[in-house]
Chain A
């Protein structure tokens, strides 16, 4: 009996320790990014947000083009991806037992797990090579492909979560299926769909791999058109970390803090208003 009791105590202490170890990196990451990034933001001031990249070993400059680029890319990706994703989600919810409906659900789950670097390579081949240049459009297309499954799956689940009686009531009024879905059900599911949209946006705003060979990156010029290369905060960090210059590492930390703040500003309100999220 004593052995069993000791084992029991050890077990509780053990899993509590491992739980602590699981979340420890998060605190270490947030702490490191804040400690390294905050002085950079304070020293760089307003110019860090609006200015362009400094030369190697010469001050901080700013990451304005990357910030503008991230917003442009996220906006364009939403424009391309959201309508298709939401309509696909509606199909999967409305016809869950049809062959296409079932296959779509499986495909969406696979696309959620799909390595994002492969999406970037794919877009490079079909868009960047024919156009002959990296472009905001190519970056946005890659991000749209990454974003779609999240939005579609959230839309599907939000619609399926609506009690049957609303649907029956709407049909009983003599509405067509189109009107039932778009006038009644979408309204009821709006919170779930909006969550999906925001999760998708939070996800792609922080993506790097799909942009490597599509957006091209720009550090000294702001947005010049959708057929021109554009920067992005994650892409800039990735490039700067690999440079040997000390000031570039500082800029990378500052940019990381900014990215972390943007991410938390979108993600935390969603997470706190819900019980669970899918990432």
Chain B
């Protein structure tokens, strides 16, 4: 009995270290952003200004545009990922020819692990020109009276480009979660549905109802991934302080704002705290979304 406790006390500090790091991280974000809260209050989150100045009196920062852009692009990504990942999961588990199953899954697993900078360079040099030429320009020319398409796509760097690239990046991740859940549905349910005379379409609809929590979890976790992604997004979003409803307008996300501005932030008195405050908002959004996702996933696993 005594020996077992010794082992536990030997290992516990290492767990503690990981916890300590995480808590230290939260503390660093809180303390480093404190000066901006003392100066501006919540205006840092509710206004869209970026006034950097040598004179600290004149400095003022509001990161609303970045928060808006992060949520906008991540919602787009999830809207793209939802139909793709569910279709992929269903097709690969139930309907794909046997020889294709494994290669299809390997392909998406490679996509899930691919260095994000490779998505970034492909996005900036290949995807953006394609989207601009074949999607944005035609829609703008014919439908520019609709607010979503009202911005003239000059460069192609836009919310849409970022959303599509993020959608491509998070689909394999969401589909891996949904795939595992769909695979785990007990065989008798499938047999039961077909025995009732359901077509494959009807059967799939019923079976997808069974794994609803896992689908919600997959989507939430995909949203969490999308909102935290940095380099690929910052290469295609345009990096402009902008709050625009149009898909074709350039903008900022929290992570691309940090990536772009932090390098020279130490010249100014309040820019570093402002960026840490932006980081803090990402910290909190990410934590809530991911915890919710993990909760749904756990609920599904226990319900099984």
Contacts and interface: CB of A to CB of B under 8 A. Distances in A.
A19 B11 contact: no
Main secondary structure of the interface of B (DSSP, over half): helix
Interface stretch (A57-65, A71-79, A187-195, A253-261): A253-261
B250 to A, nearest CB: 15
Contacts, number: 255
B10 A178 contact: yes
Nearest to A260: B118
Contacts of B287: 110
B28 interface: yes
Interface stretch (A25-33, A44-52, A158-166, A223-231): A25-33
A170 interface: no
B240 to A, nearest CB: 15
B90 interface: yes
A124 B279 CA distance: 13
A131 interface: no
A256 B117 contact: yes
A237 B111 contact: no
Chain A interface size band reads: 35 or more
Interface residues of B, number: 89
A111 interface: yes
B91 A212 contact: no
24 contacts: A5-B199, A8-B201, A12-B200, A18-B84, A19-B96, A25-B168, A26-B108, A33-B122, A88-B17, A103-B19, A104-B18, A113-B221, A118-B283, A121-B279, A122-B25, A126-B24, A152-B18, A181-B7, A208-B117, A234-B117, A238-B117, A272-B106, A278-B176, A279-B112
Given A32-B126, A206-B117, A260-B115, 4 more contacts: A16-B91, A18-B83, A104-B15, A106-B294
Interface of A: 4-5, 7-8, 10-12, 14-16, 18-19, 21-23, 25-26, 28-29, 32-33, 36, 84, 87-88, 90-92, 94-95, 98, 100-101, 103-104, 106-111, 113-119, 121-122, 124-126, 145, 148, 152, 176-178, 181, 199, 202-203, 205-209, 212-213, 234, 237-238, 241-242, 249, 252-253, 256, 259-260, 263-264, 267-268, 271-272, 276-279
Interface of B: 3-4, 6-8, 10-12, 14-15, 17-19, 21-22, 24-25, 28-29, 32, 83-85, 87-88, 90-92, 95-96, 104-122, 124-126, 168, 171-173, 175-176, 180, 199-202, 204, 221, 224-225, 227-231, 235, 255, 258-259, 262-263, 275-276, 279, 282-283, 286-287, 290-291, 293-294
